[in-house]
Amino acid sequence: MSETNMHQDTIVSEDQVFMSGFVSIIGAPNVGKSTLLNAFLGQKLAIVTPKPQTTRNQIRGIVTTDTHQIVFVDTPGLMEPKYRLQSEMVRTAYGALRDADIVLFIVDGANRNVPIENQILNRLQKTQSSKKILVINKVDLVDKPTMLPIFDEFSRQLDFDEMIPISAKTRDGVDLLLGQVKSLLSPGPQFFPEDQLSDLPERFFISETVREKIMLITKREVPYSTAVVVEEFEQRQKRNGEEILYIRAIVYTEKQTQKQIIIGKAGKLIKRIGELARSDIERFLDKKVFLELYVTVKSDWRRDVRKLKDIGGLFEID
């Protein structure tokens, strides 16, 4: 905590100082990081699918009360990168360690990924400035006693501030974990207004929602070769005076065959993707939405830095 920050601390009452901090959620792909972010927020902010490598960016979700503000940072799953998009995802994930006051290291208790876990432990051993919590997730899928050796194993490798078994899906242990996070916070300022849920623009959540539906519906390489960019986003008035949010989004694929798969026979699949996404977007924004989707090919965009910059989302690539 810097001197300047200390001066901005808000006194909540005579004996209570406002507490705040950045809490990064890291782990291997598919361990439940985004599910946990959503569980903390009590609403869906980050997309979730059963497929690994769903999240591609840092996604900040903010929890504010009278006494504290926690900025949770969801990150892409860590892996051995094979192409540029993946190496940007890894960079993005480890980048979230830099500013973290607390790190939540999430491990899937039902499906271990030891090589990546060891790599993360290695990084955490060098990240001395942040507090660390080991979170074993998906305990709804395993017998609790089988967790004990896992905690033992990790505690021998790193001195965690806390260790906890949870189920992000059923919320079992999530409030306990939130309590642990709060108890590790330091005095600090309120970084964001109290009613702000995230610092990302609405168009990011719109494109992510479309991408989620594509990831859920398509198979093999298609989910990984797809990116979505919102091109137009404007409030319009229909002839009957009704307000509607008009959204035009482009779905990028790498190959003509992938484009055909996403469009589907007689445009059936893209229609279904559009319907599912529209209903989620309407719920998220609490507005009536008209969503128009176009599918186009941008060959090898995942491997091409320039193309990645244009359509890869929020990466800052140099």
Residues that bind Mg ion (CB under 5 A): 33-34, 54-55
Q: Is 35 in the site for ligand GTP (CB under 6 A)?
A: yes
Q: Give least dist CB 69 to ligand GTP, A.
A: 23
Helix residue ranges, H only, 24-146: 33-41, 84-98, 114-126
Q: Which of 18, 17, 34 is nearest to 26 (CA)?
A: 34
- The sign of the torsion formed by the CA atoms of 35, 249, 203, 83 equals positive
Answer for which of 20, 34, 69, 253 binds ligand GTP (CB under 6 A) is 34
Answer for which of 167, 207, 209, 226 binds ligand GTP (CB under 6 A) is 167
Q: Give least dist CB 46 to Mg ion, A.
A: 6
The nearer residue to ligand GTP, 21 or 29, going by C-beta atoms, is 29
Q: How far apart are CA 31 and CA 100, in angstroms?
A: 20
Helix (H) / strand (E) element for 209: namely helix 202-217
Q: Under DSSP, is residue 31 helix (H, G, I), strand (E, B) or coil?
A: coil
Other C-beta atoms closer than 10 Å to the C-beta of 235 total 9
Q: How far apart are CA 151 and CA 159, in angstroms?
A: 11
The nearer residue to Mg ion, 33 or 213, going by C-beta atoms, is 33
| Site track for ligand GTP across 119-158, x = CB under 6 A | ------------------xx-xx-----------------
Give the interface segment with ligand GTP, choosing from 48-56, 195-203, 222-230, 250-258 (CB under 6 A): 48-56
Q: Under DSSP, is residue 184 helix (H, G, I), strand (E, B) or coil?
A: helix
Q: Give least dist CB 298 to Mg ion, A.
A: 24
Amino acid identity of residue 137, one-letter, is N
The nearer residue to ligand GTP, 32 or 188, going by C-beta atoms, is 32
Q: Give least dist CB 59 to Mg ion, A.
A: 8
Give the interface segment with ligand GTP, choosing from 9-17, 53-61, 116-124, 270-278 (CB under 6 A): 53-61
| Site track for ligand GTP across 168-207, x = CB under 6 A | xx--------------------------------------
Q: Under DSSP, is residue 49 helix (H, G, I), strand (E, B) or coil?
A: coil
Question: Angle at Cα 305 formed by Cα 299 and Cα 309, nearest 5°?
Answer: 95
Answer for which of 5, 10, 53, 279 binds ligand GTP (CB under 6 A) is 53
Question: Angle at Cα 58 formed by Cα 258 and Cα 163, nearest 5°?
Answer: 115
Q: Is 30 in the site for ligand GTP (CB under 6 A)?
A: yes
For 267: left if phi > 0, alpha if psi spans -120 to 50, otherwise beta; the answer is left
**137 interface partner picked from ligand GTP, Mg ion, none, CB below 5 to 8 A per type:** ligand GTP
Residues near ligand GTP (CB under 6 A) are 27, 29-35, 48-50, 52-55, 76-77, 137-138, 140-141, 167-169
